[in-house]
Amino acid sequence: MRIFKPMFVTAIAVVTLASCSSVKNMAVPTMDTAVSIAAKKGAVSDEQFNHWAHADLATDTIPGMSVDKAYKFLEGKTGETVIVAVIDSGIDIEHEDLKDVIWTNSKEVAGNGIDDDKNGYIDDIHGWNFLGGDGVAAPEQLEITRIVAKLNKRFEGKTDTDISEEEKESFAEYQKYLDAYKASSSRHFQTLTRLEQIGENYAAIKKFLGKDSVTLEDLQAVKTEDQKLQAQIGDVLGLIGRGLDEKAYLEYYETQKKNKNYDFDFDGRAIVGDKPQDINDKVYGNANVIGSKDEESHGTHVAGIILATRNNGIGLNGVANNAKLMSVRAVPDGDERDKDVALAIRYAVDNGAKVINMSFGKSFSPYRHWVFDAIKYAEEKDVLLVHAAGNDHKNIDVSDNWPNDSLDKINEIADNVLTIGAMSVNYDENLPATFTNYGQKNVDVFGPGVQIYSTVPNNEYAKYNGTSMASPEVAGVATLVRSYYPQLSASQVKHIIMNSGTAIDMQVMLPGSQSQENPAGKKVNFSELSISGKVANAYNALILADKMVNGK
């Protein structure tokens, strides 16, 4: 681990508020939240590293969110239960560290095949699965694939001379989409071609040896004058030397063959049975919120970060207590459908969620207006949405990243969405995660997103990287604030988290700026990477919430 460097900062300012009859209408003050840190040398223990996101920068010299410190502040206080919806790939709700915090729909009778609460979803006991299938993984195309596949029916194989004046504008758009598809898919198809070549090499060697499988010793013992076979053996030996034996190769090949991201002919809705272009076709899917248990590690990991059972002696402590997990399955192995996202948000809102985590995103969104309408609906119902900024090390003030809360990347349609960038444990120029998206207008605040320890299916645990991890870290902070200060609106909680975060006054490496051509990269002020220029801090957020509610 890197040595932490000192940073200039000032003390936390005391904020005094005038009395106000309605807390929900109060403006959110800004805290001066920088802290004076001395450099510390020495390794961090494995136990500390597993929970570094909960550490405190001032006391631990680890740039976490001060979660442990927040719970000391909460001693003796009682919070209300908050329902947290996780819209994701599916969640192992039977996990040992999650099963005690699962939301149950008290208006529905389990397993009776009747829509008891008349919400259109039969037996939705713990949430809803908008991807269909019963214990089946959900492969899907990317949105760019769906767009090009649709336009191919009109324009595939045509040139400018084949296009009428009326269709020239549409044809030009098609060309842009086609170029985007080719740029995105080229590496995938190159990988498939390479894997097929490796398969041919194994087949040729097996035929020569007369065996159904080959070992390293077999390969090393082969004597042949056949130059092509020699090259094939050399290729396989090189792969084995890099850790890719035949078993690993076959597993990886099967995974890649199942990948439907770029398959024009694949119908990802066959097991769902809905009309994806019709937002009024709302009743589809089923109550299987786990999905394919062995494969839905992403949603399970996200859920654990927010609210894995605290202080039970196993696994980890989630950021939030007093929370119940609603699982809403809408994110496939590919790009999520706008319709599924919109209906998933509405489902969560209608069933009582006050915080919704959305650790997903894509570059194209043909039905974004459905999602915008759902975001505004959530705002009307006072629900906070927390969304991952994305992992393409891009400036999303320029590049598209959907869903978001802005039609034009400038003007927000609602004030209930927090967009989260990812930071690492390195308290130096490498503080931003190398992969994180950023934006001084469209990323609100940063949260821990590198080597985050959390739950994965079948009672196991793992460390993952991504803004997918940073988003639930901050969603957990939002849940804490909403639990202990329920008087505050979703908008106020959003701005409390932004205004109370830890200010980082240093130059950092711009994500994505380092390359072989430019190994030194480019440095910018951390404040240029988000609106707030801060890292979310649970302790500070609770202090500011307390000042707003109690005026102390």
Residues annotated catalytic, as ranges: 88, 298, 468
Q: How far apart are CA 361 and CA 388, in angstroms?
A: 7
Classify strands 323-329 and 127-129 as parallel, antiparallel or unpaired. parallel
Q: How far apart are CA 493 and CA 477, in angstroms?
A: 9
Distances (CA, A) of 264 to 9, 181, 212, 345, 456: 54, 11, 35, 28, 32
Cβ distance 102 to 94 under 8 Å? no
Cβ-count burial of 408 within 10 angstroms (0-12 exposed, 13-18 middle, 19+ buried)?
exposed
Cβ distance 345 to 87 under 8 Å? yes
Neighbours of 78 (CB within 10 A): 8
Beta bridge partners of 358: 87, 387
Cβ distance 83 to 354 under 8 Å? yes
Q: Structure tokens of 19?
A: 């009395």
Rg (C-alpha) for the chain, rounded Å, is 25
Cβ-count burial of 106 within 10 angstroms (0-12 exposed, 13-18 middle, 19+ buried)?
exposed
Alpha-carbon dihedral of residues 494, 500, 506, 512, nearest 10 degrees?
-20
* CB-based contacts of 480, cutoff 8 Å, min separation 6: 70, 74, 79, 319, 320, 321, 538, 541, 542
Cβ distance 334 to 363 under 8 Å? no
Three-class secondary structure of residue 549 per DSSP: helix
Q: How far apart are CA 208 and CA 523, in angstroms?
A: 56
> Taking Cα atoms as reference points, which of 141, 139, 161, 138 lies closest to residue 150?
141
Q: How far apart are CA 548 and CA 552, in angstroms?
A: 8
Three-class secondary structure of residue 254 per DSSP: helix
Q: How far apart are CA 345 and CA 371, in angstroms?
A: 8
Q: Which regions of 449-552 does DSSP assign to beta strands (E)?
A: 452-456, 460-464, 502-503, 507-509, 523-525, 534-535
> Taking Cα atoms as reference points, which of 425, 523, 512 lies closest to residue 465?
425
First to last CA, the chain: 39
